[in-house]
Structure 1
Amino acid sequence: MQLRPKLIALVALMAVAVGCSVAFFLWSLEAVTRVRFENPWLLWFLPVAGMGVVWLYHRHGGDSEGGNNLILDRLHDPGGGVPRRMAPLVLFGTLVTHLFGGSAGREGTAVQMGGSIASAVARQFRLDAAQLPALLMAGVAAGFGAVFGTPLAGAVFAVEVVMIGRPKLRALPVCLLASYLGDWTCRAWGVGHAHYHIDGVAGPLGAGYLDLGMVGKVALAAVAFGLVGWLFAAVCHWLSAGLKRWIPNPVWRPAVGGVGVIVLFLIVGRADYLGLGVWSPDPAAVTLASLFESPGSHPWAWLWKLAFTAVTVSSGFKGGEVTPLFFIGAALGSALAGLLGAPPELFAGLGMVAVFAGASNTPVASTLMGIELFGLGYALPIALACGVAFLCSGHAGIYPSQRFALKKPFWRRPR
């Protein structure tokens, strides 16, 4: 792929627009989350809110209902591109999900806004069909890099997620440009990102953590991370297929899902597993941040978050899965550290990125994300955990439109 001046200029223009959109999204997400914490009664209206969003998509969304999988389908076959309406619809739908307490993420919103804006720029400036996939991948990179503040991981995610085992490396230069520029633009608006820390670095690249005993512990935990990533994807696919079969009218599915979330909340008796899960005004709440500060104190938090999120996203609510997967992975890593006699903060960090690696089938991007989040001093254990989790997570990831150029050992090749 030739990096023509026109393509470079369009990538830069698009990345700035995506960075601004993600900044507005993150600011709005923080605002609606605060409103929900101040008004916990909003949860009781989650079923109705979900019905309204799905009705809006059904009536006016067109192909936008395809979400992240539509972006991947267009990368395989550009076709008609991505609808412009996808960006405002997914932004509105995600904010509604979080305002009323649905357990969802934010990467899906950023990726879809990036793809939608990239496709709109391509149409406006009549970009030829050969260069459209590169611009779409750059849009994905800009959205992912900006929403998490991990531009290197965002660029690699965009080229890795399309075809497992055969990354689209020709598009990597434009994805790097877009991801770093999108992240820079988002930060320029004063939007910050959550920071997580692992205390203590042992040797260069974390080599001191990899004596024979620790290698075994990391590998064993990584098997669990991969299996839980597979479990999450499998439960989501099973629930989604079941709801489509049992409830033909899509507008009623989020009503059932919303009731399911409320029932789970009543069983648990706590609001810890609602919403994004990154922070809470309640100092005793289980959050992604607390899993690093008070490791090992909530051994089943990962399972509760998995259940809340699977019910939410499978029934049609908008958002994404990645941040809940971070929560699930950090909680599982923290619990396993106590069983294995391992450093709890390290295993919380490993689980945070390795469960995502397994569920998304993006081990390289997940490794780079871990390095960007926690530092180069943990590179080797992060790479080991993400690699093993990827191998142990099967082929049914959270993005059904992914294609595979390799077969994982011990798993049946997908049809």
Structure 2
Amino acid sequence: MSTFSKLLPSVKLISFKYLLRNAAYVIPMAIAIGSMVALFLWLLHWAISFRFTHPYLLYALPVAGVAIWYVYKAWGANAERGNNLIMDEIHTPGGGVPKRMAPLVLAATVITHLFGGSAGREGTAVQIGGSIAQFFSKLFKLNAIDTRIMLTAGIAAGFGAVFGTPLAGAIFALEVLTIGRIQYDALLACLVAAIVGDMTVSAWGIHHTAYHIDIIPKAVGYFTFDSILLLKVIIASVAFGLASRLFATAVHSVKATMTKLIKIEWLIPVIGGIIIIALTFINGKPDYLSLGVDAEYPGAITIPSAFANGGADTWSWLWKTIYTAVTLGTGFKGGEVTPLFYIGATLGNTLSLLMDAPVSLFAALGFIAVFAGATNTPLACTLMGVELFGGEYVLFFAVACFTAYYCSGSSGIYSAQRIAVPKTAVKS
């Protein structure tokens, strides 16, 4: 018997014990994250519904901004850095992720949406995941390597739970850290965490929005191929990538400009709130406030409405970009991903009419591709397309996400994201 054959049982036993040990840490952590995300989603739904019936709350958005600023100034410390802090801790362990990050961002995000700020929810879920993961790492006295895996799994649990896409959540947590490289040592932990987190949210009775793509008689599916439609998808995906780049640039630019021009910090959210109120007056409708998932009134432009003919205006995607850049760039809390879904779906709706293409398919492609370009996570977003819309058009999903990824520039919405392999070998 060879030496390898003799060692094989021992290697298998060690691997099995390691997997069991990781599961013992990850599963309770994911249940805690899923439970807190469920609470967050319930509170978020309540806040948005309450504002629908009390629209005058929008006028208090500047005051809400000051309250958020004060709370973070008094108790936030490094929690203000949000997702970027968690990513930096995974790359280079330092001071850790504070426990207060989870309740602070949860409350601040609910307040942002209660008063009409245009933001998302992924950032909050990821920060909840990172904060709770750090707590469990300290509780179990894990070493630096295991803590990094737990933090990565915390991202996966938060993301998978908030959107109901566990597979995409697991891959997102691995892919978002470094452009061009995925470290697979945390893959199983991320997958377990994302699945358990999603199951926990469902167990609490929280349901996610369902989307639907109309059946296309001749398309790129499992058995058929339409080259003209594929060409239209590629052209549209270039636009999706440019929209991703515009969004990331806008958010960073608003924040940098406000910080440079306004020296009194608490005035920044005040001005941001006033701008949002003014934009709503200019538009004459509240469609670009908050998440953009539920309709405030019949005929409102929402993400689901973008999947139908006439479900978006020509410039809905640009208005949402402006609203969200102002909201997040002036200190309000939330995430970028749901606004990116809105931008992508409404842009896809507009492009489908211009290119005589299937509306629901192009809305779905924009939904995932703009997100892919802004976060530099094309693989995770392709899988998200399959989880949300079905696998029949997976080739379209992949083409859209990877095309948008290459057209979105070298950076994205996360400043802590590192570049391992540049998108192109051409140096600019």
Matching of residue 304 in structure 1 with residue 319 in structure 2: yes
Residue 3 of structure 2 is matched in structure 1 by none
Unaligned runs of 5+ in 2: 1-13
Match of 1:267 among 282, 305, 329: 282
Match of 1:173 among 185, 188, 193: 188
Residues 226 and 389 in structure 1, CA contact (< 8 A), matched pair in contact too: yes
Residues 239 and 314 in structure 1, CA contact (< 8 A), matched pair in contact too: yes
1:249 CA displacement:
3.4
Residues 355 and 48 of structure 1, relative CA distance in 2, 3 Å threshold: same
Matching of residue 212 in structure 1 with residue 227 in structure 2: yes
| Distance in structure 1 (CA, Å) of the matches to 2:322 and 2:164 | 27
Task: Name the amino acid aligned to 1:71.
Answer: I
Task: Name the amino acid aligned to 1:276.
Answer: L
Match of 2:123 among 95, 108, 128: 108
1:87 CA displacement:
0.2
Residue 407 of structure 1 is matched in structure 2 by 422
Residue 125 of structure 1 is matched in structure 2 by 140
| Distance in structure 2 (CA, Å) of the matches to 1:98 and 1:294 | 28
TM-score (norm 1): 0.96
* Identical columns (%): 52
Residues 178 and 418 in structure 2, CA contact (< 8 A), matched pair in contact too: yes
1:388 CA displacement:
0.2
Residue 191 of structure 1 is matched in structure 2 by 206
Task: Name the amino acid aligned to 2:65.
Answer: G
1:210 CA displacement:
4.4
3-state SS, counterpart of residue 282 of structure 1: coil
1:80 CA displacement:
2.1
Please, which moves more after superposition, 191-200 or 5-14? 5-14
Give RMSD over aligned pairs.
1.6
The structure with the larger Rg is 2
Residue 249 of structure 1 is matched in structure 2 by 264
Residue 293 of structure 2 is matched in structure 1 by 278
Match of 1:290 among 305, 308, 317: 305
Residue 102 of structure 2 is matched in structure 1 by 87
1:73-132 alpha-carbon deviations (Å, 9 max, x no partner):
111012221000000000000000000000000000000000000001111121111211
1:197 CA displacement:
0.2
Residue 333 of structure 1 is matched in structure 2 by 348
| Distance in structure 2 (CA, Å) of the matches to 1:411 and 1:120 | 43
Matching of residue 223 in structure 1 with residue 238 in structure 2: yes
| Distance in structure 2 (CA, Å) of the matches to 1:175 and 1:247 | 41
Match of 2:114 among 95, 99, 108: 99
Unaligned runs of 5+ in 1: none
Residues 179 and 422 in structure 2, CA contact (< 8 A), matched pair in contact too: no
Residue 380 of structure 2 is matched in structure 1 by 365
1:6 CA displacement:
3.1
Residue 10 of structure 1 is matched in structure 2 by 25
Residue 59 of structure 1 is matched in structure 2 by 74
Residues 27 and 412 of structure 1, relative CA distance in 2, 3 Å threshold: farther
| Distance in structure 2 (CA, Å) of the matches to 1:207 and 1:258 | 48
Matching of residue 32 in structure 1 with residue 44 in structure 2: no
| Distance in structure 2 (CA, Å) of the matches to 1:104 and 1:270 | 17
Matching of residue 234 in structure 1 with residue 249 in structure 2: yes
Residues 219 and 229 in structure 2, CA contact (< 8 A), matched pair in contact too: no
1:252 CA displacement:
1.9
Matching of residue 354 in structure 1 with residue 374 in structure 2: no
Task: Name the amino acid aligned to 2:60.
Answer: F
3-state SS, counterpart of residue 377 of structure 1: coil
| Distance in structure 1 (CA, Å) of the matches to 2:332 and 2:27 | 32
Please, which moves more after superposition, 81-90 or 292-301? 292-301
| Distance in structure 2 (CA, Å) of the matches to 1:282 and 1:114 | 34
Task: Name the amino acid aligned to 1:188.
Answer: A
1:281 CA displacement:
3.6
Matching of residue 390 in structure 1 with residue 390 in structure 2: no
Task: Name the amino acid aligned to 2:175.
Answer: E
Residues matched between the structures, number? 413
| Distance in structure 2 (CA, Å) of the matches to 1:208 and 1:356 | 28
| Distance in structure 1 (CA, Å) of the matches to 2:177 and 2:321 | 25
1:2-35 alpha-carbon deviations (Å, 9 max, x no partner):
6353332111110000000010000000001011
